[in-house]
């Protein structure tokens, strides 16, 4: 049996692995988006949040 913190850590790691696998699939199929565009959009969102 594991405690709550270990379980949450495991779930977080599992989610990260799933996201990595999805990214690999997108790269293979050419579905992924451009990193520079994504980072630029993230910067805009963060600037808007912290004004």
Show the low-confidence residues of the chain (pLDDT under 70).
Answer: none
Q: Tell me if 10 sits within 8 A of 2, measured CB to CB.
A: yes
Q: What is the rounded distance in angstroms from the CA atom of residue 50 to the CA atom of residue 36?
A: 21
Rounded Cα distance, 25 and 31, in Å: 8
Q: What is the pLDDT of residue 35?
A: 86
- Domain ranges, ordered by start, for the chain: 4-49
- Taking the whole predicted model, whether its pTM rises above 0.85 is answered as no
Residue with tokens 């990214």: 23
pLDDT given at position 14: 97
Task: State residue 34's pLDDT score.
Answer: 86
């Amino acid at each position: 049996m594991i405690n709550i913190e270990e379980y949450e850590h495991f779930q977080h790691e599992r989610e990260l692995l799933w996201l990595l696998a999805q990214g690999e699939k997108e790269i293979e199929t050419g579905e992924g988006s451009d990193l520079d565009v994504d980072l630029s959009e993230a910067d805009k969102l963060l600037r808007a949040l912290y004004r």
